């Protein structure tokens, strides 16, 4: 039996939506390259770095995670600024310090909003 895809289901809580189920699936294309698809119909190709057998042609899983954190933070900040009726111009930069041996763990994530 060969694994060709995996599905992940998350129950999330949103202050506007209440509890909501979120589901994503990752379909294996080749080596460490996957097509990730959400239940909302969006997709992204994920590729590992060359050091792990990838081709570094698409976003890595760790980059995607950091982009997601930055995106979620930006959405929250805009919501707060709109409620306060403040001028909107939000740029969010996230950086990370990663554990050097396994490359699987973020030790710290810094978010700067300006």
Q: Is 41 helix (H, G, I), strand (E, B) or coil?
A: coil
Q: Does pTM surpass 0.75?
A: no
Helices (H) and strands (E) in the chain, counts: 1, 6
Same domain, 12 and 47: yes
What are the CA-CA distances from residue 84 to residues 15, 24, 107 (Å)?
A: 18, 34, 33
- Residue 16: the pLDDT is 63
Q: Can you read off the two tokens belonging to residue 78?
A: 């805009």
Same domain, 75 and 87: yes
User: For residue 6, what is the enclosing H or E element?
Assistant: strand 5-14
pLDDT in tens, the chain (114 residues): 466 666 666 666 666 666 677 788 888 888 888 898 888 899 999 998 888 888 989 999 888 988 888 888 888 888 887 888 776 555 656 666 655 555 567 777 777 776
Q: Which of 59, 84, 103 is at the close of a domain?
A: 59
Residue holding tokens 């590729």?
Answer: 47
Residues in the chain: 114
Same domain, 64 and 34: no
Same domain, 29 and 65: no
Q: How many domains does the chain contain in total?
A: 2
Same domain, 35 and 66: no
C-alpha–C-alpha distance, residues 109 and 103, integer Å = 14
Q: Which of 59, 84, 99 is at the close of a domain?
A: 59
């Amino acid at each position: 039996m060969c694994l060709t895809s995996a599905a992940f289901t998350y129950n999330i809580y949103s202050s506007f939506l209440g509890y909501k189920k979120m589901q994503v699936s990752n379909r294996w294309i080749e080596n460490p390259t996957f097509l990730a698809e959400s239940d909302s119909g969006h997709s992204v190709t994920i590729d590992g770095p060359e050091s792990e057998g990838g081709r570094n042609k698409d976003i890595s899983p760790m980059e995607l995670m950091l982009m997601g954190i930055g995106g979620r933070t930006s959405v929250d900040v805009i919501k707060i600024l709109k409620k306060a009726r403040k001028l909107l111009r939000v740029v969010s930069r996230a950086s990370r310090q990663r554990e050097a041996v396994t490359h699987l763990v973020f030790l710290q994530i810094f978010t700067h909003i300006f």
